[in-house]
């Protein structure tokens, strides 16, 4: 008898009819003999509705109280799904963060999971029930309600699968799986049957918003097999798993694009130790998350330092970039008209010339590259945002990722 953790997001439980459909799906899995832990998000729109109520009362609502407020969204979904399951003759029980002792740190609105006491969950499963767990929420050491941040229900599901050593963690979503690139840009994008944690991490952080980044990190750390599949139609999804012989040995697994990019270039920086540290420490203190960092040492003792942030962080980053280095810099240039295209694949490790092929493909398509950044299994290029779709299609074709028909 296999133990599955199944996670259904806000859209999947967004209405009474959708909750009925989820109950049918859970009942069917149960009928196939699986033990089930089902993790649910708040009904679509509910979290924003609650946040808006809080925002009416305070410019900066108390974070502890915000968590107590929004955690009700998942509680409602869990209770409703348990009602629907019990009504179908499938014994089920809703469980909240404090009931399964989902212990987190005390960082309200963005807590991290420390430990799960699996005794309550195992007892519910041993009684032959489906455990319906409110995602996104936990409690800190003092019993305060915490939440895991946006998309935290994916993390809840993977954490539960790890704690229970589940056979699989299934993330039901509104897409059929992980694709070689965005199907809205490339209609012949192909669903990938299997992908490694490392590749998925690079894709998740690059704007393929199928799985929450932290949930992939946690799955990799604990070796939890994660399957992304559709809650709207049947059919196998994408299995995210260890790198192994069964994985498709492709050089490039996918092409990702991220349009939320602002590039800052600090000109004429003195080439002396500690200047970069001073700049990026100042950015970190201001909670600005920096993505790409590019620096070339120049011959005359002065250099340009380029980095990228999200457009939302630009307002915070700009004054720091202007002032951090004082006399040691000669100017700042900001560009908000760029996008980042990336190719990701384990095969790059053993295949030379992948980056070169990417640059050649882009050049032949007339796409100019403003900056380049690479990791072991990824190459990212900043290009003009207006050329992003063209670049994605060029790379998807050039690396032969299309459906094999």
State the nearest-atom distance from the C-beta of 383 to its own copies, in Å.
Answer: 44
Query: 111 with 148: CB under 8 angstroms?
Result: yes
Q: CA-CA distance, 83 to 294, in Å (whole number)? A: 54
Q: CA-CA distance, 190 to 404, in Å (whole number)? A: 8
Q: How many angstroms separate the Cα of 254 from the Cα of each of 178, 179, 300, 316, 348?
A: 9, 7, 40, 32, 12
Considering the complex, state which of residue 144 and residue 310 has its C-beta at the smaller distance from its own copies: 144
Q: E-strand spans in 81-140?
A: 92-95, 102-104, 113-116, 130-134, 137-139
Q: Which residues pair with 306 in a beta bridge?
A: 265, 294
Interface with its own copies by CB under 8 A: which range of 139-147, 180-188, 248-256, 319-327?
139-147
Q: x/- binding map, residues 3-42, to its own copies, per CB under 8 A?
A: -------------x--xx--x-------------------
Please give the structure tokens belonging to residue 282: 């100042």
Considering the complex, state which of residue 74 and residue 291 has its C-beta at the smaller distance from its own copies: 74
Q: Verify binding: residue 118, its own copies, rule CB under 8 A.
A: no
Considering the complex, state which of residue 121 and residue 208 has its C-beta at the smaller distance from its own copies: 121
Q: Verify binding: residue 355, its own copies, rule CB under 8 A.
A: no
Q: x/- binding map, residues 72-111, to its own copies, per CB under 8 A?
A: x--xx-xxx-xxx-xx-----xx-x-xx------------
DSSP state of 311: G
Considering the complex, state which of residue 65 and residue 217 has its C-beta at the smaller distance from its own copies: 65
Residue from 68, 251, 276, 332 in contact with its own copies (CB under 8 A): 68
Select from 108, 111, 110, 130 the least CA-distant residue to 121: 130
Cα angle 284-289-291, degrees, rounded to a multiple of 5:
120
Q: Verify binding: residue 57, its own copies, rule CB under 8 A.
A: yes
Residues of this chain that interact with its own copies (CB under 8 A) are 16, 19-20, 23, 50, 53-54, 56-62, 64-66, 68-69, 71-72, 75-76, 78-80, 82-84, 86-87, 93-94, 96, 98-99, 120, 143-145
């Amino acid at each position: 008898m296999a133990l599955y953790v199944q996670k259904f997001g806000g859209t999947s439980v967004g209405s009474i009819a959708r909750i009925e459909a989820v109950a049918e799906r859970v009942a069917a899995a149960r009928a196939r003999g699986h033990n089930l832990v089902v993790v649910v998000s708040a009904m679509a729109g509910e979290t924003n509705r609650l946040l808006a109520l809080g925002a009416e009362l305070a410019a900066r609502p108390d974070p502890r109280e915000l968590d107590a407020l929004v955690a009700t969204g998942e509680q409602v979904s869990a209770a409703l799904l348990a009602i629907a399951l019990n009504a179908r003759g499938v014994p089920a029980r809703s469980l909240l963060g404090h009931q399964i002792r989902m212990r987190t740190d005390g960082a309200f609105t963005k807590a991290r999971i420390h430990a799960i006491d699996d005794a309550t969950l195992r007892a519910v499963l041993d009684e032959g029930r489906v455990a319906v767990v409110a995602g996104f929420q936990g409690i800190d050491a003092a019993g305060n309600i915490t939440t895991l941040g946006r998309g935290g229900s994916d993390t809840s599901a993977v954490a539960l699968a790890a704690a229970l050593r589940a056979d699989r963690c299934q993330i039901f979503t509104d897409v059929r799986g992980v694709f070689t690139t965005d199907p809205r840009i490339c209609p012949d994008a192909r669903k990938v049957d299997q992908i490694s944690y490392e590749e998925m991490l690079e894709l998740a952080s690059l704007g393929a918003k199928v799985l929450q980044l932290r949930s992939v990190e946690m799955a990799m750390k604990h070796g939890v097999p994660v399957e992304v599949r559709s809650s709207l139609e049947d059919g196998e999804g994408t299995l995210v798993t260890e790198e192994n012989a069964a994985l498709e040995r492709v050089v490039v697994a996918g092409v990702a694009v991220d349009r939320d990019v602002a590039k800052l270039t600090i000109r004429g920086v003195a080439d002396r130790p500690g200047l970069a540290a001073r700049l990026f420490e100042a950015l970190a203190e201001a909670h600005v998350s920096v993505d790409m960092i590019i620096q070339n040492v120049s011959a005359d003792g002065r250099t340009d330092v380029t980095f990228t942030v999200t457009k939302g962080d630009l307002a915070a980053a700009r004054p720091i970039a202007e002032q951090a280095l004082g006399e040691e810099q000669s100017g700042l240039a900001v560009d908000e008209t760029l996008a980042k295209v990336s190719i990701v694949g384990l095969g790059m490790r053993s295949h030379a010339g992948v980056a070169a092929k990417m640059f050649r493909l882009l050049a032949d398509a007339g796409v100019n590259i403003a900056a380049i950044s690479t990791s072991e299994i990824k190459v990212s290029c900043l290009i003009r945002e207006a050329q992003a779709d063209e670049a994605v299609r060029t790379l998807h074709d050039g690396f032969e990722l299309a459906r094999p028909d």
